[in-house]
Amino acid sequence: MEFRIADTFTDSLAKLTGDEQKTVKTTAFDMQMDPSRPGLRFHRVDRTRDPNFWSVRVSSDIRIIIHRTQKSLLLCYVDHHDDAYRWAQRRRLETHPRTGAAQLVEIRETVKEIEVPVYVQVEKPKPLPFAKISDDDLLNYGVPAEWLPDVRQADDNSLLDLADHLPVEAAEALLELATGGTPPLPSHTSSESDPFEHPDARRRFRVMHDLDELQRALDYPWDKWVVFLHPAQRDLVERTYNGPARVSGSAGTGKTIVALHRAVHLARTYPDARVLLTTFSETLANALRSKLRILINSEPRLAERIEVYAIDALGERLYQLNLGAFTLASSEQIDQRIEEATAAADDSRFSSGFIRTEWDRVVDAWQLDTWEAYRDVPRLGRRRSLPETQRKALWSIFENVRASLKSDGLITRAQMYGQLAHRFDETQRSPFDHVIVDECQDVGVSQLRFLRALGTDKPNGLFFTGDLGQRIFQQPFSWQALGIQIRGRARNLKVNYRTSHQIRRRSDLLLGPEIADVDGNTEVRSGTISVFNGVEPEIVVASSAEDEIETVATWLKKLENADLAPEEISLFVRSSDQIHRATAAADKAGLPYTVLDSDMQTTAGHISISTMHLAKGLEFRAVAVIACDDEVVPLQDRIETVTDDTDLEDVYNTERHLLYVACTRARDHLLVSGVDPASEFLDDLQRM
């Protein structure tokens, strides 16, 4: 007998208390071991359209709803007795007549009429979005036949409520159509095919082959990506690319999911290959390692051929192995040499801030080692023009800095990467057959040159995932200038799994409808859809810090009363200077908290508090982004150090991106607050 688990089961399991979940898991394990064991109390669900729905007693009040046939057993839902029975009575498992996919369909007659708000008619009514789409086309998108009249009558106000009642592939297609997109038609399979093997069905139903696999599926309900993969993601994961490829998408669209599955797919497909999975920080690398362990738990030998590293740690390791011992120059040592070289030049035309950024972003980043190279460099991303005489004066400073570092046996990180790139280019021997880079928007010039040298010229050598809208550490630069051409191999993900429609729509107001990189590759952000509905975010401008703390504390208590566990809640602030405001709010709400550091270890039973820069890679059911005051977001200290117009523009962009990253860590609830005068970005969030 095949034993399957549905995504509706893992969703419902996550809403139970910790003790209830433990009891449910024990019962699920017993069912998989022996569905006929006498201790399991099966009871057919009465008054249901599907005679194969049964309940299994977990405790005096908890019931698991299963769909049982002679050949299979499917875990569908779990809840308290009455709610579990109501769920089963409102649904049936069927094979869609057109697509051939297995679907858990909500029965139309059991749904309360979807209410549409009535407004005073002041303009000609907008045409209904699906009025001219034929029943045939709607069926092709996976809409159940009994829901066709509702779909045809839906308008912009009722569509989101309607989508909550439809199978996910149908809801996604309708939302994309309503926002002007043209969704691809789902695969259609023959009537003889297994409906559970359809690509859409594989997103919601998964065969559990053994207890270990079931254990992982139940232990990580938030990490459903381990079990359920969207067909669009699967296509990108399994495709063969004849050159560097990049997958983009806004927050929550599953880019890291794609990177992880891509690494596993390549390791499975090429048994002798070594695969590198890397990202720009150790914190994110640790998160990748944890998720990879879950993903390949049943195939431990794959771990021997997939290496996960933060780029800096990887560079240091490979340098020692290939070029020997070295000493990295600290930021303070570089500052000291720049100050000494500037004083010796006796030239006051340039501020120390301008010289340092010119060194970091042009000279050191691109490893310019001669006057001719600096004279002719385009200086991409640096708007301030420099005539040759000024460049000559600056080069005399940079030449002295380079000489001073060399005489003391120091190298910069950019030099480390440059020398490694040269070594691998020269030998044409990379330690890896495939290189996958997550969060690539925050990879720097020298790092990307190094990764390009590691990535082989053969198909599937380099694969990137990232989002230009989440770039918070690096200035834009040309990938093409480094020999990485992704045109024709760039793809955008459009389905958001992590963030509710309301939170995604509000957060998107911080960014434009599309973002282009220096090489002209455009990431179109419009048309992204969320797969679930939620409550509207709260944007609050308080009269004082005390008033804001009271507001946040009240919000936290409301979440606690709604049965959110403390570890499902996080408070973010711009920098460590505002941490005390977050801790004060948690104290006032009477909730324990953990202030996260770079290892990002959350604590069960505690709210998480951290700076926005540590938000990457995290997700919570509820997030409050607080202390968004004027001169805090964007940070005034950064603005005051700007010496170049482009730098100022980049400060504003990255500060917007930073707030966007923090807001999009939220799944269901979002609060953004500041003290009057608040950040100008809060005005954007309130534009709707």
Q: Residue holding tokens 């200038």?
A: 481
Predicted structure pTM score:
0.85
Q: Are 452 and 482 in contact (CB under 8 A)?
A: yes
3-state secondary structure of 5: strand
**Average pLDDT estimate for 6-27:** 89
Alpha-carbon torsion 178, 179, 180, 183, what sign?
A: negative
Pairwise CA distance, residues 647 & 653, whole Å? 10
Which residue has better confidence, 230 or 677? 677
The pLDDT of residue 297: 78
What would the two tokens of residue 302 be?
A: 């794959």
Q: Closest Cα partner for 586 from 601, 600, 605, 612?
A: 605
The pLDDT of residue 186: 77
**Average pLDDT estimate for 545-555:** 97
The pLDDT of residue 309: 97
Q: Are 68 and 88 in contact (CB under 8 A)?
A: no
The pLDDT of residue 35: 81
Q: Are 591 and 522 in contact (CB under 8 A)?
A: no
3-state secondary structure 262-303: HHHHHHHHCCCCCEEEEECCHHHHHHHHHHHHHHCCCCHHHH
Average pLDDT, the chain: 89
pLDDT reading at 422 higher than 90: yes
DSSP string, 495-552: EESSS-HHHHHHHGGGS-SEEE-TTS-EEE-TT-EESS--PPPEEEEESSHHHHHHHH
The pLDDT of residue 142: 93
Which residue has better confidence, 188 or 75? 75
Pairwise CA distance, residues 197 & 102, whole Å? 8
Pure H helices in 323-476: 331-345, 352-358, 371-376, 388-407, 413-427, 445-454
**Average pLDDT estimate for 316-343:** 96
Q: Please tell me what DSSP assigns to residue 330.
A: P
3-state secondary structure 235-253: HHHHCCCCCCEEEEECCCC
Q: Are 106 and 167 in contact (CB under 8 A)?
A: no
Pairwise CA distance, residues 687 & 562, whole Å? 29
Beta-carbon contacts of residue 429 (< 8 Å; ≥ 6 apart): none
Strands of the sheet containing 245-249, edge to edge, are: 306-310, 275-279, 434-437, 462-466, 245-249, 490-493
Q: Are 248 and 322 in contact (CB under 8 A)?
A: no
Which residue has better confidence, 330 or 287? 330
Q: Closest Cα partner for 130 from 176, 161, 165?
A: 176
| The pairing of beta strand 607-611 with beta strand 569-573 | parallel
Pairwise CA distance, residues 246 & 567, whole Å? 33
Pairwise CA distance, residues 612 & 657, whole Å? 10
The pLDDT of residue 122: 47
Pairwise CA distance, residues 260 & 254, whole Å? 10
Beta-carbon contacts of residue 433 (< 8 Å; ≥ 6 apart): 266, 270, 273, 274, 275, 456, 458, 461
The pLDDT of residue 419: 97
Query: Residue length, the chain?
Result: 688
Q: Residue holding tokens 């920080």?
A: 281
The pLDDT of residue 360: 93
The pLDDT of residue 107: 93
pLDDT reading at 642 higher than 80: no
Q: Are 362 and 394 in contact (CB under 8 A)?
A: no
3-state secondary structure of 74: strand
Kindly list the distances between the CA atom of residue 333 and the CA atoms of 340, 407, 444, 470, in Å, as whole numbers in the listed order: 11, 13, 21, 30
Kindly list the distances between the CA atom of residue 79 and the CA atoms of 13, 59, 309, in Å, as whole numbers in the listed order: 8, 11, 41
Percent share of the chain, pLDDT over 90: 62
The pLDDT of residue 124: 60
The pLDDT of residue 538: 97
Which residue has better confidence, 599 or 588? 588
Strands of the sheet containing 62-68, edge to edge, are: 42-44, 53-57, 62-68, 72-80, 2-6, 205-207
The pLDDT of residue 675: 97
What would the two tokens of residue 458 be?
A: 């053969």
Q: Residue holding tokens 């029943």?
A: 135
Instruction: Return the H-helix or E-strand segment holding 150.
Output: helix 148-153
The tens digit of pLDDT for each residue in 507-536 reads 999 998 889 898 989 888 877 888 888 899
**Cα atoms in the 13 Å half-sphere on the side-chain side of 488:** 5
The tens digit of pLDDT for each residue in 113-139 reads 655 444 444 456 678 889 888 999 999
The tens digit of pLDDT for each residue in 660-688 reads 999 999 999 999 999 999 999 999 998 86
Percent share of the chain, pLDDT over 70: 94
The tens digit of pLDDT for each residue in 40-67 reads 889 999 989 999 999 999 999 999 999 9
Q: Are 50 and 77 in contact (CB under 8 A)?
A: no
The pLDDT of residue 120: 46
Q: Are 91 and 80 in contact (CB under 8 A)?
A: no
The pLDDT of residue 265: 96
Contacts 24+ apart (CB under 8 A), 362-367: 363/398, 364/412, 364/414, 364/415, 364/446, 365/414, 365/444, 365/445, 365/446, 365/477, 366/445, 366/446, 367/414, 367/415, 367/418, 367/446
**Average pLDDT estimate for 582-606:** 90
